[in-house]
Structure 1
Amino acid sequence: MKVVTEQLPPLQIHHQGEAPTGAMVEIVELLLQQATLDGQIVFYPWARAYEVAQQQANTLIFSIMRTPAREHKFHWVAPLLADTVHLIRLKSRPELAISAIEQAKQFRIGVTRSDIAQFYLEEKGFTTEQNILLSSSYPRLWQSLFDRKVDYIMANEFMWRQKQTFEGETFQPIEVALSLDDFAQDYYLAASLNTSPIIISKLKKALEKIHQSGQYLAILQKWHLAD
C-alpha cells in the first residue's frame, strides 16, 4: 500500500538521501509494523499528496486535519495529534498587531496550497487575488514570512516552537498575532475511500495496542510533543 505525507517538522521530516523521520512518521511506521502491513511513505507537496490520497486505492495520508468539507472524501482511521493554530508575525513588526481575523484582510497571509488553512481563509472572505499567498511547502512558507513577502503565516504551535528551537539564532523572532480558536485542530491518519476495510480495521487495532503499551506516548515525548 502507499502512504503519502508532506514535509512538516517535527511531525514529518525528509532530507534527500536519508530515511524519513519525525514523530508521526515513527508512529505510522510502528502502526504498519504492528498491523503487518507493507507500506512505503512518500513525500509530496501537500496538494499532490491530497490528490493522490483521493484517487488511489489502499492509500493512507497523514497528518491531515478533519473538517466537515473533507468528511466524505476519506475514511478517518484515527486521530494522531491535537494542537492550536495561530496567525504568526515577525516580532519586529508591531504594526501588525490585530485582535480579530477581519483586521487581517488589509494584509497578506501565507498558507500552503490546498491546505485547510487556505479554505478556512476563503470561507472568511480572503482571496488569492488580494490577501492570500500560496506556497508549495512549509519551508517556503516560512521564508516568505522572513522575506516579508507576507505579513502573517498560519502555523501550528508545535511547528513554530520546534523551528525556533532547532534553528536558533538564524530564526527571526516571531510571535502570535492571533489565536484561531475556531480552526480545526486535530491531525488524523486517513485512508482513501477505496481502501480495504480489512486494512482500516488492522490499523485501528494496531493503534489501540501502541497506546496501551505506552509506545505512542513515548514517541510524542521523544519529539517534545507531550509531557
Structure 2
Amino acid sequence: MNFIITKKCFANEIQDFKIVTETLPFLTFIGKDGKTEGVLADRINKLRKNLKIKAEIELLPWSRAYIIAQKENGTMIYPIAKTPEREKLFKFCCILYKAKTFLFKLKERSDINIKTLEDAKKYSIGVIRDDIKHKMLENLKFTNLELSASQEVNFKKLIGKREDLIIANEFVLKSQLQEFNINENELEKAYEVKEADPNRYIAFNLNVEDSSIEKIKSALKKIYNPDLD
C-alpha cells in the first residue's frame, strides 16, 4: 500500500497536498460512504487534520504512485520499504508501520519443512514481479521464484499446489486473505524471513525541503509510535 503527497510549503505551514495510495483492505480502502478507511488511512487522516491539509486521499496503482514520487517535485510516498537503491531516489522520513515477513505454506503440506533460509531454496515461491520481496529474494540468490502480477495469482497457485510457498508481510496477509475469500486456517507460517526489513516508511521526492519533512515527522510522532508495535 502506497501514498503520495504533493505540496507547497509556505513559511511555517504545509499546504496544498495531493495524497495518493494503493488500495489494500484493512490498511487503506474506500468505505461505503466513499471516504478512505483503514489503519493507515486513519493515521494519514489524523496527520492531515493536524497539519490542516484539505486534500483527500486518492487511490492509484503502486507503480504509478512510485513514478510520480520520483518525478514530480513536492511529493511524498508511503508506506515504502527502504533499500540502498531507493535511498538514492527518495528522502526517507519516518516509520509508518512495521511488520515481519514470512514464507507461508498450505497447512496440509507436511512435506515442506524449512529450518534455514537455504532450506527454502528447495521450494518454489510465489512473488509479485518487481516487488521489494522479489528483489530481496533475488539478492539472496533464490532461483526458484514464481513471478506473478498480483498476490491474488500467487494465492491461487498456492492453493492449487502449483507453487509451494508465498512470501508475505504478516500485517497485510490477513486482509488479502479476506479480500480473496480464502480461509486463513488453510495457511501457516513456514519460516520467518529475518533478512527482510519489517519497517515501512514515509519518503519524499528529493526536491522536498528538509524543513517540511521535519514538520511531517513531528506531527506523526503524536499519532504513531513504532516502538510500541
TM-score over 0.5 for the pair: yes
Q: Following the alignment from structure 2 to structure 1, what is the Cα–Cα distance between the partners of residues 135 and 32?
A: 30
Which is further off, 199-208 or 136-145?
A: 136-145
Aligned residue identity for 1:191: F
Equivalent-residue separation in structure 1 for 2:156 and 2:35 (angstroms):
25
Point out the more displaced range, 177-186 or 145-154. Answer: 145-154
Pair 1:190 & 2:203 matched:
yes
Distance in 1, Cα, partners of 2:87 & 2:27: 22
Q: Does 1:58 align with 2:74?
A: yes
More deviation, 46-55/159-168: 159-168
**Cα distance change, pair 152–169 in 1 and its aligned pair in 2 (3 A):** closer
Cα deviation for residue 161 of structure 1 reads: 4.2
One-letter amino acid of the counterpart of residue 147, structure 2? L
TM-score w.r.t. the length of structure 1 is 0.78
* Map of 2:138 onto structure 1: 122
More helix by share: 1
* AA of the residue aligned to 1:110: G
Contact 2:152–2:180, Cα closer than 8 Å, also in 1 = no
Alignment check: 8 A CA contact 1:13 1:22 kept: yes
Equivalent residues in 2 for 1:70-219 (5 A)? 70-127=86-143, 131-162=144-175, 170-171=183-184, 173-210=186-223, 216=224
Give the RMSD, CA atoms, in angstroms. 3.0
- Give the 3-state SS of the residue equivalent to 2:111 in structure 1: helix
How far 1:177 sits from its partner (Å)? Answer: 0.9
Contact 2:24 2:175 in 1 (8 A): no
Aligned-partner Cα distance in 1 for 2:21–2:166: 21
TM-score (norm 2): 0.77
In structure 1, distance between residues paired with 2:214 and 2:93:
8
For 2:57 and 2:158, the matched residues in 1 are separated by 29
Aligned to 1:213: none
User: What do the CA deviations read for 1:107-148 (whole angstroms, capped 9, x no partner)?
Assistant: 321222322101111101224xxx223333444443332333
| Whole-angstrom distance in 2 between the partners of 1:72 and 1:123 | 18
Query: Greater shift after overlay, 198-207 or 69-78?
Result: 198-207
Counterpart of 2:63 in structure 1 is 47
- Contact 1:45-1:136 at 8 Å conserved across structures: no
Cα offset, 1:97, TM superposition: 1.8
Q: Larger relative contact order (C-alpha < 8 A, sep ≥ 6)?
A: 1
Gaps of 5+ in 2: 1-5, 7-17
SS at match of 1:94: coil
| Cα separation, 2, equivalents of 1:7 and 1:148 | 27
- In the alignment, the residues of structure 2 paired with residue 104 and residue 73 of structure 1 have an alpha-carbon distance, to the nearest angstrom, of 32
What runs of 5+ residues in structure 1 fail to find an aligned partner? Answer: 211-215, 221-225
Tell me, what secondary structure is at the counterpart of 2:168? strand
Q: Contact 1:4–1:49 at 8 Å: present in 2 too?
A: yes
Residue 91 (structure 1) shift? 0.6
- CA drift of 1:24 comes to 0.9
Q: Which amino acid aligns with 1:109?
A: I
Call closer, same or farther: CA 1:138–1:8 in 2, change over 3 Å.
farther
Aligned length: 212
C-alpha change, 1:139 and 1:73, in structure 2 (3 Å) is same
SS of the residue 1:42 aligns to: strand
**How far is the alpha carbon of 1:89 from its aligned partner?**
0.7
Provide the C-alpha distance between the structure 2 equivalents of 1:151 and 1:43, rounded to a whole number of angstroms: 32
Contact 1:46/1:114 (CA < 8 Å) preserved in 2?
A: no
